[in-house]
């Protein structure tokens, strides 16, 4: 079964993980967002009772 032969794909797997770990991941971790989150003031919702038309 050629699907189970790891020889052609193992090197590709190793190279892709190496590229991700050493090059792409540090660049992504250094990214800082321009809009930092700010806390919103808590507001309590106004609760109004539901008026049922048949009562």
Quote helix, strand, coil % in the chain, to nearest 5.
Answer: 45, 0, 55
Indicate the pLDDT class of residue 51, thresholds 50, 70 and 90: confident
Indicate the pLDDT class of residue 15, thresholds 50, 70 and 90: very high
What integer pLDDT is reported at residue 14 of this predicted model? 92
pLDDT tens per residue across span 24-42:
888 888 887 777 778 888 8
What integer pLDDT is reported at residue 2 of this predicted model? 60
Annotate 7-32 with three-state secondary structure: HHHHHHHHHHHHHHHHHHHHHHHCCC
């Amino acid at each position: 079964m050629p699907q189970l032969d790891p020889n052609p794909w193992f090197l590709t797997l190793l190279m892709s993980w190496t590229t991700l770990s050493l090059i792409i991941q540090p660049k992504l971790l250094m990214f800082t967002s321009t809009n930092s989150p700010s806390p919103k003031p808590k507001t309590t919702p106004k609760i109004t009772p539901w008026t049922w038309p048949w009562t």
